[in-house]
């Protein structure tokens, strides 16, 4: 089997992290976002993953070379010269996706994190005999999204309603698809949307089916959702493989700590924290609802909550960092500094407090 991951554009919503690496390579729970998906695909027998990309393909490929060998899966790029939306890339990658087997292929949106029940999806796809299967997830506020209206018993999709004013349902497209090769005949090589142009056509022919995603789902393409996604992901680890989570008197709730990280005396860490490789957390530090990426040093008695600390940054003694502060790569926050929602570009030194959410150039 094969799979296409829609990598797309510049990742502007996750800046300043995406100023250092393309968005799919930003760490989430101590590994690049896209690796969560590639590992899930590999686990159910996908042999080749195609990345649909229009930005820095060489950076992506160089990085993924080592994982190609480690995981034993072929990773190639299909590069757009202009942005092609969410369906155009499938037409562009047609020759890479179609082979003589006639097997269906997966398409995934690279920002989506979930438990990836891909095996169940293959079984669902075979059972209904339609042309395409999509995953849907239940949300509390469907009016912010495109809602999928479907028959509950069979999963057959009736229609799509974009940002409904009146309640028509609470299931939205989760960005994970399994498509027969014949779907490619419906897609032209131009900028086009799979959600707005291709799927409604297939639904009109009564060949589109939706499976409700078990477990959690999050689009982690922006900081607030990234932090929420981390909570949901760690919660899922607690249920499914709790041995990966940290334990100890200094740990509260679900915490993921890389084995090469060092944690000092008298810290209180958690809930919902990820600490990456090579990090040093000095004595008396308090961390909650945050991600601390590779090579970060957090000095004594600093306090960090609801924030993302980028690679190789330092946070000074007694500093307080909170309210969706995002430090890009190699940012140095001085001792006793307060950051309230500061978004700091890479390679900066912060010598005075950031009292209200702002971007620090």
In this predicted model, what pLDDT tens digit does every residue of 295-331 receive, in sequence order?
A: 999 999 999 999 999 999 999 999 999 999 999 999 9
Residue entry with tokens 């056509």:
201
Calpha distance 237→321 (Å, rounded):
27
Q: What pLDDT score does 9 carry?
A: 64
Query: 157: which 2 tokens?
Result: 């999709």
Residue 242 pLDDT > 90: no
Contact between 104 and 125 under an 8 Å Cβ cutoff? The reply is yes
Residues 204 and 253 in one domain: no
**Bridge partners of residue 308, in order along the sequence:** 291, 326
Between 57-71 and 33-43, two packed helices, what is the crossing angle to 10 degrees?
Answer: 40
User: Which one is predicted more confidently, 195 or 144?
Assistant: 195
The span from the CA of 164 to the CA of 160, in Å, is: 10
> Which band of pLDDT confidence, cut at 50, 70 and 90, is reported for residue 98?
confident
Triad 281, 247, 31: Cα angle to 5°? 65
Give yes or no: residues 246 and 339 share one domain. Answer: yes
> What average pLDDT does the chain have?
90
164 & 114 share domain: yes
On whether both 288 and 145 belong to a single domain, the answer is: no
**Helix (H), strand (E) at residue 210:** strand 208-212
CATH, residue 159? 3.90.550.10
Residue 321 and residue 232 in one domain? yes
- Residue 118's pLDDT band, with cuts at 50, 70 and 90, is very high
CA distances in angstroms from 214 to 61, 110, 114, 241, listed in the order given: 32, 19, 9, 17
What confidence score (pLDDT) does residue 10 get? 64
pLDDT at residue 116 in the model:
92
Kindly state the tokens that stand for 215.
């477990």
Integer Cα distance of 309 and 297 in angstroms? 10
Residues 238, 193 within the same domain: no
According to DSSP, residue 307 is labeled E
Based on the domain organization, do 235 and 201 belong to the same domain?
no
Across-strand partners of 177? 107, 134
Q: What is the SS3 assignment for 166?
A: coil
Give pLDDT tens digits for 7-27: 866 667 788 988 888 888 899
Domain hosting residue 315, numbered range: 226-359
Percent of the chain with pLDDT over 70: 98
Domain final residue, candidates 219, 248, 267: 219
CB atoms closer than 10 angstroms to residue 62: 10
Strand partners, 305: 288
**Which pTM value belongs to this model?**
0.88
CA atoms of 132 and 136, how far apart (whole Å):
13
Q: Taking a C-beta distance cutoff of 8 angstroms, is the pair 47, 74 a contact?
A: yes
Reported as a single tens digit per residue, the pLDDT across 28-86 is: 999 998 899 999 999 999 999 998 887 767 777 788 787 888 888 888 888 887 788 88
Residue 165 scores a pLDDT above 90: no
pLDDT of residue 56: 67
């Amino acid at each position: 089997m094969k799979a296409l991951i829609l990598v797309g554009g510049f990742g502007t919503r996750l800046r300043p992290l995406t100023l250092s690496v393309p968005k799919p390579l930003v760490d989430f729970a101590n590994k690049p976002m896209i690796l969560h998906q590639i590992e899930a695909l590999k686990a159910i027998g996908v042999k080749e993953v195609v990345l649909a990309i229009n930005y820095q393909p060489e950076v992506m490929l160089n990085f993924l070379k080592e994982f190609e060998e480690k995981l034993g899966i072929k990773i190639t790029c299909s590069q757009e010269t202009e942005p092609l939306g969410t369906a155009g890339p499938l037409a562009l990658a047609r020759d890479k996706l179609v082979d003589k087997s006639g097997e269906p292929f997966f398409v995934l949106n690279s920002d989506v994190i979930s438990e990836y029940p891909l095996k169940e999806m293959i079984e669902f796809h075979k059972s209904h005999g339609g042309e395409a299967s999509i995953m849907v997830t239940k949300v509390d506020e469907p009016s912010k999204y495109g809602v999928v209206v479907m028959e509950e018993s069979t999963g057959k999709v009736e229609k799509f309603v974009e940002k409904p004013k009146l309640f028509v349902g609470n299931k939205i497209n989760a960005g994970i698809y399994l498509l027969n090769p014949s779907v490619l005949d419906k897609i032209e090589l131009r900028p086009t949307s799979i959600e707005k142009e291709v799927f409604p056509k297939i639904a009109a022919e009564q060949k589109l089916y939706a499976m409700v995603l078990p477990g959690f789902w999050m689009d982690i393409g922006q900081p607030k959702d990234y932090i929420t996604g981390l909570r949901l992901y760690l919660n899922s680890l607690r249920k499914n493989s709790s041995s990966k989570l940290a334990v100890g008197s200094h740990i509260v709730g679900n915490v993921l700590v890389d084995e090469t990280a060092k944690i000092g005396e008298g810290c209180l860490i958690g809930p919902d924290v990820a600490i990456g490789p090579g990090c040093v957390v000095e004595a008396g530090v308090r961390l909650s609802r945050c991600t601390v990426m590779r090579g970060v040093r957090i000095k004594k008695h600093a306090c960090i909550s609801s924030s993302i600390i980028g690679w190789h940054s330092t946070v000074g003694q007694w500093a307080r960092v909170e309210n969706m502060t995002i430090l890009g790569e190699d940012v140095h926050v001085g001792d006793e500094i307060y950051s309230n929602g500061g978004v700091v570009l890479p390679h900066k030194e912060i010598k005075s407090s950031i009292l209200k959410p702002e971007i620090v150039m």
